[in-house]
Homo-oligomer: A and B are copies of this chain.
Amino acid sequence: MSHRHIDVTAQVTDACLVAAVLDRVAGKWSIGILIAAGQGPVRFTELERSMTGISRRMLTLNLRRLERDGLLLRTVHPTVPPRVEYTLTDCGRELRESLLTLSGWAERHGATIAAAHEAYDREHADTTAE
């Protein structure tokens, strides 16, 4: 009764879809930005500070991509000095919810994964010197 041979083709579609999604989010910062932008309109500099470590260049590039994907809305106030605010679209807000689900998973399994790393590295530390 072992169903060893499984038709995976049905899953390929899902896989590609998810890959397409996460490709927009795969960078080092996109997710953080999406989550940080969830608190309402956020200014460029606010993001820059809350994303500790990001370069200005990368922040800009990621914001542009998220905007192009229709996940983020960019509003320029024609004042001096300039004031630009970023807001999640409905679409982006939904994505953010899903990402927060992943966040929950991370909280539950963070320690487990760290332990798995150690175990793996210890086991695969086969040096010729040993």
Give the B-binding residues of A (Cβ under 8 A): 3-4, 6, 8-9, 11-29, 31-32, 35-36, 38-42, 46, 50-52, 67-71, 91, 94-95, 98-103, 105-110, 112-117, 119-121
Contact = CB atoms under 8 A, between A and B. Distances in A.
A100 B17 CA distance: 9
Taking the full assembly, how many copies of this chain does it contain?
2
16 contacts: A8-B50, A8-B110, A9-B50, A12-B50, A15-B32, A16-B32, A17-B110, A18-B35, A18-B103, A18-B106, A26-B28, A67-B120, A69-B116, A71-B113, A98-B101, A98-B105
A117 B114 CA distance: 38
A67 B116 CA distance: 9
A94 B110 CA distance: 13
Nearest to A70: B116
B102 A22 contact: yes
